[in-house]
Chains A and B, each alone.
Chain A
Amino acid sequence: MTTRMFGEPIQRREDPRLVSGDGRYLDDLGQDALAAAFVRSPYAHARVTDVDVTDALDVDGLVAVYTYEDLDGRVAEPLPLLIPHPSLHAPRTGYPLANGIVRHVGEPVAMVVAVDRYVAEDVASLIRVTYEQLPVVVGIAAALRADAAVHEDVADNVAAHLVQEVGDARAAIDAAPHRLHLDLDIERSASTPLEGKGVYARWDPADRSLRVYSSTQTSTSVRFAVAAKLGIPVDRVEVVTPDVGGGFGVKIVHPWPEEVLVPWAAIRLGRPVKWTEDRREHFISSAHERAQTHAVDVGFDDDGRLHGLSVTFAHDNGAYTPYGIIAPIITSTQLLGPYKPGAYRVEFRSVYTNTVQVTPYRGAGRPQGVFVMERTMDAIARYLDLDRTVVRERNFIQPDEMPYDQGMIFQDGRPLIYDSGDYPAALDKLKKLIGWDDFAAYRDQARAEGRRVGIGIGCYVEGTGVGPYEGAHVRVETDGTVVVATGLTTQGQGHETVFAQVAAAVLGVPVEAVTVVTGDTRRFRYAVGTFASRAAVLSGNAVALAARKVRAKALRIAGEALEVDPRDLEVTDGVVHVRGTPQAQIALKTVAVLANPLRYAFDAEAARATQFAVGGSLDKPPVADDDEPGLEATDYYSPLRSTFADGMHAAIVETDPETAEITVLRYAVVHDCGRLINPRIVDGQIHGGVAQGVGGALYERLVYDDAGQLLNASFMDFLMPYASEVPVVEIDHLETPSPLNPLGVKGAGEAGVIPGAAVLASAIEDAEGIPITRMPISPSELWEARREGRR
């Protein structure tokens, strides 16, 4: 019997390869390729007045040096603005190599190609660039003061200004019985996958075709972008994503300067070229996120119910806006979480600074939004002397109010309508899991022993599975194996396993019979990419839809072969049989043979489908007008709008009364992402997300000095958590299916990270009794906050 594949915590299919050293990541490929290295700006804002390569040219093993002057055609144009928006009135993007001005430390100025990376770096160090320094803008306050401009023609440093309002928020706040104002800040962090970016390109001059390998989150779009930039017909370009060592958002941006320049150089030189990003390059020349400052005004009644909420915030977008204003749009909409805000007004400015560009990092604006809303909830509870969960509960959208329209426009340009969710039930589970109601006694007891402990809570709603679409191709081979291809990419989420589960469940085959290919444009050409917790929702459903077509076709052909009504057939363990009559059966692989009428018998199986072997009516063509050969199908899933997952986290922390060291004692998660395809993998996603949330709350920040130098651009100084810093995560699930898609699933990839800063701020505030308004928080900052009586 076929085991129930969908919903089972099966082990991952990709693991045997990856635990044995048989994975193939970008830098494992192209061992014979030339190596690229880049000269990058040491200044945050400067005019490039001269690039002198004289000393560099003598180095043995040098192949080529390129500066902006060498670029031609569209390669010399600015990189694309990927997501335009009407409110992004002053978008700016960089050039593949700086065109006269550099706007952040790390911006590429010259490209070196040499026999290996050692030599390429030797050459890079010998290239003398003369800079004329310009005034530097670092931080949101400086950007808004606009004493200097990052882009000469954007004098106020404001790239975008957006207002959304539902009702008259300011009037509602004024009329409310109680009002509070809060200022809440979050600092910079970054995705920081353990593998940096990388590009490897091979040009075949005889075939006039280009193969590009990139450690990207979107191979299909890199393909279109590279073809357009280089002026090559799209049909002559293939982009392949090998195994990727983590993405977390940063690898969705494209084309990176290197994704344009490496193929460009490979074509010019007629030789394969590879660039592998090193750690410092990743820190200073990829992308960061999170830095925002928020001002909140809220009006509420005696019960803690919101009457009006007004949030004004500023988003530091760094030097360029290639990804538009997606992150602040998400903050402005997802801030609402599981609550009814009464009237709501949100206004943000996205500002330029002379720092690395800002694009989505797992959570993408949500951690900031949730921090703002949850700090506000805690402030109301404290003001009214109510339990923090009670205030939340009173503001929850109720299950019978679903679908719930928040009246706003979401990041996909579609209405912010929650499809399903049961927030009271989730809170109930969380309170039980963490022991919320018993905590006060524990806190008092700890106090009596001279210990400080606190409990915190954070709730969120996450729009997942944004469109426009993904597709999948499913084929049953004549040996019975099933091949699934989908265009989006994989960075460790276990897609080979979950998509195989979906296909196996629909087709009635063992999961071992299914192989899955992702992110290879040779296999599937139309796709969007992996971001916004969308893979399981979009490609998962596309795989299911394509597999259903294949199954229907298999039953039709089997019905003809067995001379029975296809409606009486089912498929079990790869065998089509009459329900209840196991003798009348035909293997799926035989159906695959029959699905492809043949003239030539290239093997014994094929012989069964040749023209003198098959029966059938002589009045009909071998392939009917509305049919195609092969047991295969392609289908696409395009959602009406996003599906909204939700979750609630609670944490217990202890703070040291002397040293202000912060220890997370317990961390509990209740998570609802609709139906689970593989609970083991979902739990893993939550574990990893929570670790990033804890890192972002207590350890990780990117520190720029006033000159725009990133002071901690290494793993020695940027404190990514080790095992000793990450708490054990206790998880409980709720499964509220999405009514929007056939599988009833919602996304799960980002969830774990979202409420981290909110939960830990809440818990530290509870332990300390002083307001916590800025995250991350270090022991020394907590110590300072104690002295000031606030933070």
Chain B
Amino acid sequence: MHEVSVTVNGVLRSATVPARRLLSDFLRHDLGCTGTHVGCEHGVCGACTVLLDGEPVRSCLLFAVSVDGAQLTTVEGCRAPDGGLGPVQRAFHECHGLQCGYCTPGFITTVTAYLRDHPDPTEEQAREAIGGNLCRCTGYQNIVASVLRAAAIQRGEA
């Protein structure tokens, strides 16, 4: 068993887990951050995407012990500072960018990281940015719209 400590959404959290504990399970079951979802556990769907030191990673492909000491951001951490919806979350709500919501945490973390580096994407770039995440419900059209809307919100064009 190993003691693993990570900073999740700004809060230091730790738990003692076996070496084989996936980061996705560590977050969900050891730390109770169930916003992060798993859709495949083989790295294809992107539902489990979290930000590891700011970069999107598939938490189902990492062992918790391998990220000891890291900074993690999950969908719960994509809120606005006042606790309300963050810009990407707000955009998904406004554009009907989700239906069942199961894939949504992976999209929100992915888009959050993308827009940090690409504040003003074209529609084509927005589609490309979400190209590694699966959604079975929406057909992606409103997710693309959500990416563009989130960019506009972040640029202050509320």
The reply to whether B136 and A15 form a contact with Cβ atoms under 8 Å apart is no
Q: Flag whether B47 is at the interface (Cβ < 8 A).
A: yes
0/1 interface trace, chain B 132-156, chain A, CB 8 Å (1 if under): 1111111111111000000000000
Q: Flag whether B44 is at the interface (Cβ < 8 A).
A: yes
How many angstroms between the C-alpha atoms of A473 and B154 in the bound complex?
Answer: 42
Q: Flag whether A16 is at the interface (Cβ < 8 A).
A: yes
The reply to whether A19 and B108 form a contact with Cβ atoms under 8 Å apart is yes
| Contact with B100, one of A118, A245, A689, A728 (Cβ below 8 angstroms) | A245
Q: Give the shortest distance, in Å, between A503 (CB) and chain B (any CB).
A: 21
**Closest chain B residue to A244, Cβ basis:** B100
How many angstroms between the C-alpha atoms of A595 and B145 in the bound complex?
Answer: 47
Binds B, one of A21-29, A255-263, A338-346, A775-783: A21-29
Q: Given A25-B37, A193-B136, A493-B99, are A16 and B44 neighbors across the interface (CB < 8 Å)? A: no
The reply to whether B89 and A722 form a contact with Cβ atoms under 8 Å apart is no
The reply to whether B35 and A21 form a contact with Cβ atoms under 8 Å apart is yes
**Closest chain B residue to A362, Cβ basis:** B136
Within 8 A of B (CB), among A1-44: 11-12, 14-16, 18-25, 27-28, 31
Q: Flag whether A156 is at the interface (Cβ < 8 A).
A: no
The reply to whether B76 and A688 form a contact with Cβ atoms under 8 Å apart is no
Q: Given A16-B85, A19-B92, A715-B134, are A194 and B18 neighbors across the interface (CB < 8 Å)? A: no
Q: Give the shortest distance, in Å, between A227 (CB) and chain B (any CB).
A: 28
Interface-centre pick from B37, B41, B47, B136 (highest chain A CB count, 10 A): B136
**Closest chain B residue to A686, Cβ basis:** B139
A-chain residues with CB within 8 Å of residue B21 when the two chains form the complex: 118
How many angstroms between the C-alpha atoms of A22 and B77 in the bound complex?
Answer: 11
**Could you tell me the dominant secondary structure of chain A's interface residues?**
loop
| Contact with B141, one of A279, A492, A726 (Cβ below 8 angstroms) | A726
The reply to whether A118 and B20 form a contact with Cβ atoms under 8 Å apart is yes
Q: Report the interface size for chain B: residues with CB under 8 A from the other chain.
A: 56
The reply to whether B39 and A722 form a contact with Cβ atoms under 8 Å apart is no
The reply to whether B102 and A25 form a contact with Cβ atoms under 8 Å apart is yes
Binds A, one of B26-34, B63-71, B114-122: B26-34
**Closest chain A residue to B144, Cβ basis:** A723
Q: Flag whether B105 is at the interface (Cβ < 8 A).
A: yes
| Contact with B138, one of A31, A245, A688, A720 (Cβ below 8 angstroms) | A688
The reply to whether B127 and A723 form a contact with Cβ atoms under 8 Å apart is yes
Q: Given A19-B85, A20-B75, A21-B105, are A192 and B40 neighbors across the interface (CB < 8 Å)? A: no
Q: Flag whether A399 is at the interface (Cβ < 8 A).
A: no
The reply to whether B142 and A279 form a contact with Cβ atoms under 8 Å apart is no
B-chain residues with CB within 8 Å of residue A19 when the two chains form the complex: 75, 85, 89, 92-93, 98, 101, 104, 108
Interface-centre pick from B39, B98, B141 (highest chain A CB count, 10 A): B141
How many angstroms between the C-alpha atoms of A23 and B100 in the bound complex?
Answer: 10
The reply to whether A21 and B76 form a contact with Cβ atoms under 8 Å apart is yes
The reply to whether B143 and A723 form a contact with Cβ atoms under 8 Å apart is yes
Q: Flag whether B74 is at the interface (Cβ < 8 A).
A: yes
Q: Given A19-B98, A492-B99, A726-B141, are A246 and B136 neighbors across the interface (CB < 8 Å)? A: yes
The reply to whether A684 and B127 form a contact with Cβ atoms under 8 Å apart is no
The reply to whether B131 and A494 form a contact with Cβ atoms under 8 Å apart is no
How many angstroms between the C-alpha atoms of A244 and B78 in the bound complex?
Answer: 22
Q: Flag whether A491 is at the interface (Cβ < 8 A).
A: yes
Q: Give the shortest distance, in Å, between B97 (CB) and chain A (any CB).
A: 8
Q: Given A21-B36, A722-B132, A729-B139, are A195 and B100 neighbors across the interface (CB < 8 Å)? A: yes
The reply to whether A687 and B39 form a contact with Cβ atoms under 8 Å apart is no
Interface-centre pick from A16, A194, A692, A729 (highest chain B CB count, 10 A): A194
**Could you tell me the dominant secondary structure of chain B's interface residues?**
loop
The reply to whether A691 and B139 form a contact with Cβ atoms under 8 Å apart is yes
The reply to whether B93 and A194 form a contact with Cβ atoms under 8 Å apart is no
How many angstroms between the C-alpha atoms of A491 and B131 in the bound complex?
Answer: 24
| Contact with B136, one of A14, A24, A25, A194 (Cβ below 8 angstroms) | A194
B-chain residues with CB within 8 Å of residue A243 when the two chains form the complex: 100-101
| Contact with A194, one of B28, B29, B47, B76 (Cβ below 8 angstroms) | B47
Q: Give the shortest distance, in Å, between A735 (CB) and chain B (any CB).
A: 20
The reply to whether A715 and B45 form a contact with Cβ atoms under 8 Å apart is yes
How many angstroms between the C-alpha atoms of A679 and B78 in the bound complex?
Answer: 29
Q: Flag whether A714 is at the interface (Cβ < 8 A).
A: yes
Q: Give the shortest distance, in Å, between B28 (CB) and chain A (any CB).
A: 7
Q: Flag whether A680 is at the interface (Cβ < 8 A).
A: yes
**Closest chain B residue to A31, Cβ basis:** B29
Within 8 A of B (CB), among A418-450: none
B-chain residues with CB within 8 Å of residue A728 when the two chains form the complex: 141
How many angstroms between the C-alpha atoms of A118 and B18 in the bound complex?
Answer: 10
The reply to whether A279 and B40 form a contact with Cβ atoms under 8 Å apart is yes
Q: Give the shortest distance, in Å, between A50 (CB) and chain B (any CB).
A: 30
The reply to whether B44 and A27 form a contact with Cβ atoms under 8 Å apart is no
A-chain residues with CB within 8 Å of residue B75 when the two chains form the complex: 19-21
| Contact with B37, one of A11, A15, A195 (Cβ below 8 angstroms) | A195
| Contact with B137, one of A20, A246, A278 (Cβ below 8 angstroms) | A246
| Contact with B101, one of A18, A720, A723 (Cβ below 8 angstroms) | A18
Q: Given A21-B36, A729-B139, are A715 and B44 neighbors across the interface (CB < 8 Å)? A: yes
**Closest chain B residue to A246, Cβ basis:** B100
The reply to whether A20 and B85 form a contact with Cβ atoms under 8 Å apart is yes
Q: Flag whether A716 is at the interface (Cβ < 8 A).
A: yes
How many angstroms between the C-alpha atoms of A553 and B85 in the bound complex?
Answer: 39
How many angstroms between the C-alpha atoms of A493 and B33 in the bound complex?
Answer: 25
How many angstroms between the C-alpha atoms of A192 and B79 in the bound complex?
Answer: 30
0/1 interface trace, chain A 460-492, chain B, CB 8 Å (1 if under): 000000000000000000000000000000011
A-chain residues with CB within 8 Å of residue B20 when the two chains form the complex: 118
The reply to whether A724 and B131 form a contact with Cβ atoms under 8 Å apart is yes
**Closest chain A residue to B100, Cβ basis:** A492
The reply to whether A194 and B102 form a contact with Cβ atoms under 8 Å apart is yes
B-chain residues with CB within 8 Å of residue A248 when the two chains form the complex: 136
Q: Flag whether B3 is at the interface (Cβ < 8 A).
A: no
How many angstroms between the C-alpha atoms of A724 and B41 in the bound complex?
Answer: 22
The reply to whether B135 and A194 form a contact with Cβ atoms under 8 Å apart is yes
The reply to whether B39 and A279 form a contact with Cβ atoms under 8 Å apart is yes
The reply to whether B138 and A246 form a contact with Cβ atoms under 8 Å apart is no
The reply to whether B136 and A722 form a contact with Cβ atoms under 8 Å apart is no
Q: Flag whether B13 is at the interface (Cβ < 8 A).
A: no
Q: Give the shortest distance, in Å, between A596 (CB) and chain B (any CB).
A: 36
Q: Flag whether A287 is at the interface (Cβ < 8 A).
A: no
How many angstroms between the C-alpha atoms of A500 and B9 in the bound complex?
Answer: 34
| Contact with A492, one of B45, B134, B137 (Cβ below 8 angstroms) | B137
B-chain residues with CB within 8 Å of residue A21 when the two chains form the complex: 33-36, 74-76, 105
The reply to whether A494 and B47 form a contact with Cβ atoms under 8 Å apart is no
Q: Flag whether A571 is at the interface (Cβ < 8 A).
A: no
B-chain residues with CB within 8 Å of residue A116 when the two chains form the complex: 29
The reply to whether A195 and B39 form a contact with Cβ atoms under 8 Å apart is yes
Q: Given A194-B102, A279-B42, are A11 and B136 neighbors across the interface (CB < 8 Å)? A: no
A-chain residues with CB within 8 Å of residue B92 when the two chains form the complex: 15, 19
Q: Flag whether A681 is at the interface (Cβ < 8 A).
A: yes
Q: Given A19-B89, A21-B75, A681-B96, are A31 and B32 neighbors across the interface (CB < 8 Å)? A: yes
**Closest chain A residue to B47, Cβ basis:** A194
Q: Given A15-B92, A21-B105, are A723 and B140 neighbors across the interface (CB < 8 Å)? A: yes
**Closest chain B residue to A497, Cβ basis:** B96
The reply to whether A716 and B137 form a contact with Cβ atoms under 8 Å apart is no
Q: Flag whether A690 is at the interface (Cβ < 8 A).
A: yes
B-chain residues with CB within 8 Å of residue A491 when the two chains form the complex: 100
Q: Give the shortest distance, in Å, between B87 (CB) and chain A (any CB).
A: 11
What would 30 A/B residue contacts be, using CB atoms closer than 8 Å?
A18-B101, A18-B104, A19-B93, A20-B35, A21-B35, A21-B74, A21-B75, A25-B102, A27-B38, A28-B28, A194-B103, A195-B37, A195-B100, A245-B39, A492-B98, A492-B137, A687-B138, A687-B140, A688-B136, A691-B138, A691-B139, A714-B40, A715-B39, A722-B131, A722-B140, A723-B127, A723-B130, A723-B133, A723-B143, A726-B139
B residues at A contact (CB < 8 Å): 18, 20-21, 28-29, 32-42, 44-45, 47, 74-76, 78-79, 85, 89, 92-94, 96, 98-105, 108, 127-128, 130-144
Contacts A20-B89, A21-B76 aside, 10 further interface pairs with beta carbons under 8 A come to A19-B89, A27-B34, A28-B34, A31-B32, A118-B18, A194-B37, A492-B102, A715-B42, A722-B134, A723-B127
